[in-house]
């Protein structure tokens, strides 16, 4: 699949030089674009294809009282994007539009993400879009400028890796557990330099949104991009969306997309297998997404780890996280819960969390916020009454944005606070200086909010079903 998309987009390939690759879709947000637009201005260049460029604001946006950005530098960044979009003729989904949201939630939702496309954004989680069988990857600001100016990128051809999920996903195991489990087993750099294709029955049976959760965290394994071959699930998701082909054209597109499927016996540079039959819900304990374990497990004892570097890293992480070696994961009390982000801020995530929360109350020691991934997700959740379930249970119901995934807006952990988070990175300080992040699925996060500590959501007593 990768090979086909790559070959379809290479414009110039010269021996010993990176290829010039055409880019079909360029997504832009406020944090990584100001210097790129400024670069264009300084060199007197234009945006070559404003029709293939779409912008939104997400990182700095407050989730309460969103039009009032108190931090003047945040406000300047948001205003700069508005100004640049206007000046360069780029379509912007700003705070006044229902489509505004985390860039990787918004793109698929609008039907901008198609199988076979090359998609870039100045954001590492662009890998999310690979769930549709697109080649999607994050780029730096210099490359943002490059794509704005030329609609192309210079790229050396990456290697390919198949990550084969073997077995059947057990009940109660989420897409988040699949990807967290994979990274806990193989580490945060096993896929560096590779484009990963996820295969296997456990992947095929995932919904479109679940596939996005898996591909989203490809970058946490170091991968250049993560992809899943398109199938009926993909086509059904796209049908009827604003920027998807319409009518007969859609059917023609589906024929084209079907041809992207990986050929039987296609060769990958590397193959990795991951057993899902015995997978249990995952929780991270450290300051790197690979530092994770089973909810039935415990905080590791650094001295027992195999290499000196691992021992040092684990000891430093435990010190930062304020955890004692050997503590069972289910005995770690939490202060905060964040449900949202481009990993787990879509409607299915909110449904799953709501079904856990329904009929319960958030533990009095816990502050819990739910941040929909986009304005549309928020609207849909409200139509389904999910907001009421959350509010009744004591969660705060917020406006769309990145929020506490990286805490560039006012949603920030205080030093020492411990958070069960559905986001993708547990780096030191990610959610606020001194803040302690544990990555989990939306179900696990909701259950933790209620219990005040991590619990095994497989044994949760659901008060009643939440239906769509």
* Interface ranges with other proteins (CB under 8 A): 11-12, 16-18, 20, 22, 31-32, 34-35, 38, 43, 45, 59-60, 71, 73-74, 76-77, 80, 122-124, 126, 138-143, 145-146, 149-152, 154, 156, 188-189, 192-193, 222, 224, 245, 249, 252-253, 256, 288, 309, 312-313, 316, 406-408, 415, 425, 427-430, 433-434
Q: Is 449 in the site for ligand SF4 (CB under 6 A)?
A: no
Residues sharing a CB contact under 8 Å with residue 374, sequence separation 6 or more, in sequence order? 99, 100, 101, 102, 105, 106, 109, 345, 400
Q: Which of the choices ligand SF4, other proteins, none does residue 445 contact, using the CB cut-off of 5 to 8 A by kind? A: none
Residue choice 366, 405, 450, 451 for contact with ligand SF4 (CB under 6 A): 405
| Residue 134 contacts residue 9 (beta carbons within 8 Å) | no
Which region among 86-94, 141-149, 178-186, 399-407 touches ligand SF4 (by CB under 6 A)? Answer: 399-407
Place of tokens 């990963």: 196
Structure tokens given for 183? 């990274």
Binding mask 427-446 for ligand SF4 (x = CB under 6 A): --------------------
Q: 80 touches which of ligand SF4, other proteins, none (CB within 5 to 8 A by kind)? A: other proteins
Cα torsion at 54, 55, 58, 64 (round to 10°)? -110
Gap between the Cα atoms of 431 and 281, Å rounded: 22
Largest CA distance in the chain: 64
Give the three-state DSSP class for 260.
coil
Which residue's structure tokens are 């604001």?
Answer: 57
| Residue 406 found at the interface with ligand SF4 (CB under 6 A) | yes
Cα atoms in the Cβ-side hemisphere of radius 13 Å centred on 233: 16
Told to check if 342 binds ligand SF4 by CB under 6 A, we report yes
Q: How far apart are CA 339 and CA 312, in angstroms?
A: 31
CB-wise, 125 or 169, nearer to ligand SF4? Answer: 125
Q: How far apart are CA 60 and CA 403, in angstroms?
A: 8
CA–CA dist 398, 400 (Å, integer):
7
Q: How far is the CB of 121 from ligand SF4 (least distance, A)?
A: 9
Considering only residues 40 through 69, tell me which ones interact with ligand SF4, judged by CB under 6 A. 58-59
220 lies in the site for ligand SF4, by CB under 6 A: no
Cβ 383 to ligand SF4, closest distance in Å?
23
Tell me the C-alpha distance between 176 and 206, whole Å: 11
Q: How far is the CB of 169 from other proteins (least distance, A)?
A: 28
- φ, ψ dihedrals at 453, nearest 5°: -155, 170
**Rg of the chain in Å (alpha carbons):** 21
In whole angstroms, how close is the CB of 340 to other proteins at the nearest point?
16
Q: Which is nearer to other proteins, 224 or 453 (CB)?
A: 224
Q: Which of 55, 226, 272, 232 is nearest to 134 (CA)?
A: 226
Among 63, 288, 341, 367, the residue binding ligand SF4 under the rule CB under 6 A is 341
Q: Interface with ligand SF4 by CB under 6 A: which residues?
A: 58-59, 102-104, 123, 125, 341-342, 402, 405-406, 423-424
């Amino acid at each position: 699949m990768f090979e086909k998309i790559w070959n379809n987009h290479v414009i110039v390939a010269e021996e010993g030089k990176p290829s010039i690759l055409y880019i079909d879709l360029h997504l832009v947000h406020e944090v990584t674009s100001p210097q790129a637009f400024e670069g264009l201005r300084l060199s007197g260049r234009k945006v070559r294809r404003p029709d293939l460029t779409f912008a939104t604001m997400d990182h700095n946006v407050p989730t309460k009282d969103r039009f009032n950005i108190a931090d003047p530098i945040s406000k300047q960044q948001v205003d700069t994007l508005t100004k640049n979009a206007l000046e360069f003729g780029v379509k912007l989904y700003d705070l006044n539009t229902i489509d505004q949201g985390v860039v990787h939630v918004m793109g698929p939702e609008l039907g901008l993400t198609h199988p076979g496309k090359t998609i870039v954004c100045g954001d590492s989680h662009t890998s999310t879009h690979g769930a549709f069988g697109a080649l999607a990857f994050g780029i730096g600001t210099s490359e943002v400028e490059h794509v704005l100016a030329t609609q192309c990128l210079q790229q050396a051809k990456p290697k390919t890796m198949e990550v084969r999920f073997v077995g059947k996903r057990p009940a109660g195991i989420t897409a988040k557990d699949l990807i967290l489990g994979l990274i806990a087993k193989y580490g945060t750099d096993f896929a560096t330099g590779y484009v990963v294709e996820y295969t296997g029955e456990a992947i095929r049976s995932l919904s479109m949104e679940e596939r996005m959760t898996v591909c989203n965290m490809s970058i946490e394994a170091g991968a250049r991009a993560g992809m899943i071959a398109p199938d009926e699930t993909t086509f059904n998701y796209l049908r009827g969306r604003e920027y998807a082909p319409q009518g007969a054209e859609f059917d023609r597109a589906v024929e084209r997309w079907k041809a992207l499927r990986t050929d039987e016996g296609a060769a990958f540079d590397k193959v990795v297998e991951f057993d899902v039959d015995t997978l249990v819900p995952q929780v991270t304990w450290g300051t790197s997404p690979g530092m994770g374990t089973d909810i039935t497990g415990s905080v590791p004892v650094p001295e027992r780890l195999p290499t000196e570097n691992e021992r040092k890293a684990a000891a430093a992480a435990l010190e930062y996280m304020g955890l004692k070696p050997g503590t069972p994961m289910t005995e770690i009390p939490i202060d905060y819960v964040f449900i949202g982000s481009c990993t787990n801020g879509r409607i299915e995530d909110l449904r799953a969390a709501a079904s856990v929360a329904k009929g319960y109350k958030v533990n009095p020691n816990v502050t819990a916020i739910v941040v929909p991934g986009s304005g549309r997700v928020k609207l849909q959740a409200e139509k389904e009454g999910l907001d009421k379930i959350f509010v009744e249970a004591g969660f705060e119901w917020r406006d769309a944005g990145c929020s506490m995934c990286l805490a560039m807006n006012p949603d920030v952990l205080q030093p020492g606070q411990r958070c069960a988070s559905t986001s993708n990175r547990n780096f030191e300080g990610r959610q606020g200086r001194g803040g302690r992040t544990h990555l989990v699925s939306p179900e696990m996060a909701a259950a933790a909010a209620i219990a005040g500590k991590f619990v095994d959501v497989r044994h949760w007593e659901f008060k009643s079903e939440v239906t769509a």
